[in-house]
A = this chain, B = another copy of it.
C-alpha cells in the first residue's frame, strides 16, 4: 500500500492527532477542513483568496463536473487544475451522494447506477470504473469510490444490501484505479452501513482491508442528531486503521469539526461554511450570527474580533448588514471569505492544541463560549 499519511503528533488525552497528507499538489497539514468548489469554483471567492487564506486542498463534485462543463471540455483543457487555474490539490467526490440527493430518478443495480441529470433531465449511467475514469480525466489528487448512499430511516436489510453493493464497487474501483499507469491521484474508499452498528463495523473492516491510501466515512450528517452522529462516528472509527488519513464527509461547523477531530478524523468538508455565508450567517467565537438582523445596523465593530479576513479588517458589521439587506454580491463574497478564514484559523488552533496535548481542554473552552454557556 502506498503510504500518504504521516502522523506527526498524537494528543495525549484524546484520539485527536496531527499529521501530513502527501498529495500530488503538495502536503496538507491535518486535521484540515476542505472548502467545497462544486463546479470548479469556491462560490463567491477568487481562487487566489482561497489559497491566500492557506487552503491547499479543495473539493470538486464529480457529478456536477461530469454534467457541466462535461468530460470533453475537461479533457481538452488537460484536467480541472488547468481548466480552473488552481495549482493546489483537488479532492473529488464520486457522485454517489449527488445521485442520491439531487437527481430525479436513480436505479441502482449491481453493475452501476442509472440517473437523470438535475439540470436537463438527460439520462446517464455510472459504473465504479467509469467514475474512476472521470476523476482520472479531472485529474483529482484524491478520488472517491462510487458508493450507495441511503437515507437514515431504511430497514436493516436494505441498508445491508446497499452496503454490499458499496463494498463490491469499492473493490472494482480499487482494481480499476490500479490499472491507471502514471496517474498520481489517490483513491479513498468509503465506509457506509447506515445507522446499524453491525453494518458499520463490517463496512469499516471491509473497506480497511482494501489497500486504499485513505478512508472516508460516509452516510453521516444526513439529518441525525449530534449525539447520534458522534456515537456512530466513534463506533465506526475504532475499526479503521490509524496509518491512513480518515475523512468524514459533510461536516463543517466548529462543533461537529471538533467532535470529529476528537475521534481521530483528519479531513472534513461541507458546503455549510460557504452556503450559509451567502445567506448572511457568519462564524464567530460566540456561535453563528445572522448579519441581516437589525441589531447590527449601527454596529461599527468587525464580524469577529481578531479575524484577519477582508471583512473583519476593513469593514463593520453595519456595512455587512447593509450589503445583505441590499442583496449585494459583496456581502456573500466577504462573508464567504470570513467563514473560510475563520475555519482555517480554527483548524490552526486545533492543530496547535493537539501538538501541545491540550486538545480536550481547547475543545471544551471553545464549545462553552460557542454555545453561549
Query: Which of A's residues lie within 8 Å of B, judged by CB?
Result: 39-41, 43-47, 64, 68-69, 72-73, 76-77, 83-85, 297-298, 300, 310, 314-316, 318-319, 321-323, 325-326, 328-330, 332-333
Contacts and interface: CB of A to CB of B under 8 A. Distances in A.
Contacts of A43: 328-330
B39 A328 contact: yes
A69 B328 contact: no
A46 B314 CA distance: 11
Contacts of A45: 330
A68 B322 contact: yes
Given A85-B315, A318-B83, A325 B46 contact: no
A323 B85 CA distance: 13
Given A41-B330, A330-B44, A322 B85 contact: no
Contacts of A300: 76-77
Copies in the complex: 2
A322 B39 contact: yes
Contacts of A84: 315, 319
Nearest to A331: B41
B319 A46 contact: no
B297 A46 contact: no
Contact of A332 (B77, B85, B329): B329
A316 B83 CA distance: 8
A139 B69 CA distance: 46
Contact of A319 (B68, B85, B314): B85
Contact of A69 (B297, B315, B330): B297
A252 B185 CA distance: 48
Nearest to A297: B73
A322 B40 contact: yes
Nearest to A327: B39
Nearest to A313: B85
B83 A310 contact: no
Contacts of A328: 39, 41, 43
A333 B77 contact: no
B41 A323 contact: yes
Contacts of A64: 326
Given A46-B310, A68-B325, A310-B46, A73 B330 contact: no
A76 B329 contact: no
Contacts of A326: 39, 64, 68
A55 B85 CA distance: 27
16 contacts: A39-B326, A41-B328, A43-B329, A64-B326, A76-B298, A76-B300, A76-B318, A77-B316, A77-B318, A77-B319, A83-B316, A83-B319, A84-B319, A85-B314, A85-B319, A329-B329
Contacts of A330: 41, 43-46
Given A41-B330, A85-B314, A332-B329, A322 B73 contact: yes
The 7 closest A-B pairs by CB, nearest first: A69-B322, A39-B326, A41-B330, A44-B329, A85-B314, A41-B328, A76-B298
Given A47-B314, A329-B329, 12 more contacts: A40-B319, A40-B322, A44-B333, A68-B325, A68-B326, A69-B297, A73-B298, A76-B300, A76-B318, A77-B316, A83-B316, A85-B319
A318 B41 contact: no
A306 B314 CA distance: 32
A109 to B, nearest CB: 30
A69 to B, nearest CB: 4
